[in-house]
């Protein structure tokens, strides 16, 4: 369906371990273009697993997953790589910044892979560094940055190629309330600017409060959640 950014139907997922219980059980989810969805749920419930499958990082074992009408279960590695380069941005739970690259070069990488012209690369990096308040740290390496600074660089890197779908795994995890709020405002601005579809995992009810919809992962499936507060922490 053309208005859907994400369409998951009957998704079941096992990891290759001794446990016979699937992590995801016949899970279905649709996400409209431009929508912001927060995913909450207990640690180990499968939130990152779902995000990784939608991001093409983990294979679809059973069921179907489409991103902007492209079915991932029938896509080969080259098609999945292409989709990640052009269409998807991922903020990883543990940042995954490249330690041997400076802040500028970390942010530049997705644009280089996506074939953005050099002048345009420079302009976007300058604008993003200013937005995340790190213009003075552009030449620093990740291990010289605080956790919050690394998180902001990870967000800049995930949005710099203007992905239509942004997947953010705990974008404010490990941040204090003030920094967390700054990061959320940054994400909101970026999403509004390009009508990006945002799927974020969070333990925070404050972060969930920014979303159009909140779903809870429980027993391998998703439940619509009307009150934000009950199963999440404040930060
Ligand atoms: N690569 C893997 N191989 C085997 N088991 C895995 C793998 N990744 C995750 N798991 C298991 O799958 C379950 C779901 O993990 P997942 O990372 O999706 O949870 P989560 O909801 O993101 O948790 P958290 O809130 O702690 O980040 C856990 O029991 C985890 O141990
Ligand atoms: Mg996780």
Going by alpha carbons, the residue nearest to atom 13 of ligand 1 is 44
At residue 140, the pLDDT reads: 98
The rounded Å distance from CA 93 to ligand 2 centre is 6
Higher pLDDT, 35 or 18: 35
Long-range CB pairs of 32-35 (<8 Å, 24+ gap) are 32/3, 32/4, 32/5, 32/197, 33/3, 33/4, 33/5, 33/164, 33/195, 33/197, 34/5, 34/195, 34/196, 34/197, 35/5, 35/197, 35/198, 35/212, 35/213
Going by alpha carbons, the residue nearest to atom 31 of ligand 1 is 44
Specify if 123 maps to a domain: no
How far apart are the C-alpha atoms of 67 and 87, rounded to whole Å?
Answer: 9
Give the strand order in the sheet containing 62-67: 24-32, 4-13, 62-67, 70-71
Residue 176 confidence (pLDDT) above 90: no
- Rounded percentage of the chain residues whose pLDDT exceeds 90: 74
Specify if 174 maps to a domain: yes
Question: Confidence class of residue 178 from pLDDT cuts 50, 70 and 90?
Answer: confident
Specify if 170 maps to a domain: yes
CATH number of the domain encompassing residue 65 = 3.40.50.300
Number of domains in the chain: 1
Specify if 21 maps to a domain: yes
At residue 235, the pLDDT reads: 54
Specify if 23 maps to a domain: yes
The rounded Å distance from CA 40 to ligand 1 centre is 14
Assigned token pair, 176: 């204090």
Confirm whether pTM is higher than 0.85.
yes
Specify if 73 maps to a domain: yes
What pLDDT, in 10s, does the model give residues 88-121?
999 998 889 999 999 999 999 999 988 899 999 9
Q: Ligand 1: which of 49, 199, 202 to mutate, judged by most atoms within 8 Å of the beta carbon? A: 49
Specify if 233 maps to a domain: no
The rounded Å distance from CA 211 to ligand 2 centre is 18
Q: Which domain holds residue 183?
A: 4-97+162-224
Question: Confidence class of residue 18 from pLDDT cuts 50, 70 and 90?
Answer: low
């Amino acid at each position: 369906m053309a208005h859907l950014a994400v369409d998951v139907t009957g998704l079941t997922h096992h990891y290759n371990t001794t446990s016979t219980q699937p992590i995801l059980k016949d899970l279905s989810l649709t996400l409209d273009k431009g929508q912001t969805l927060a995913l909450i749920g207990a640690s180990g419930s499968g939130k990152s697993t779902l995000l990784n499958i939608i991001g093409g990082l983990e294979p679809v074992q059973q069921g179907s997953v489409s991103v902007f009408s492209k079915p991932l279960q029938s896509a080969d590695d080259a098609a999945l790589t292409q989709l990640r380069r052009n269409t998807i941005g991922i903020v990883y739970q543990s940042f995954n910044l490249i330690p041997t690259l400076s802040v500028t070069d970390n942010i530049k990488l997705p644009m280089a892979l996506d074939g953005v012209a050099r002048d345009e690369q420079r302009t976007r990096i300058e604008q993003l560094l200013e937005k995340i308040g790190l213009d003075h740290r552009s030449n620093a390496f990740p291990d010289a940055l605080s956790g919050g600074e690394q998180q902001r660089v990870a967000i800049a890197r995930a949005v710099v190629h203007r992905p239509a779908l942004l997947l953010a795994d705990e974008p404010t995890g490990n941040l204090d309330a003030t920094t967390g709020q700054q990061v959320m405002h940054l994400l909101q601005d970026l999403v509004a600017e390009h009508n990006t579809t945002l799927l974020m995992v969070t333990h925070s009810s404050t972060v969930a409060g920014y979303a159009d919809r909140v779903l809870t992962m429980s027993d391998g499936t998703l439940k619509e959640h009307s009150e934000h507060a009950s199963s999440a922490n404040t930060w």
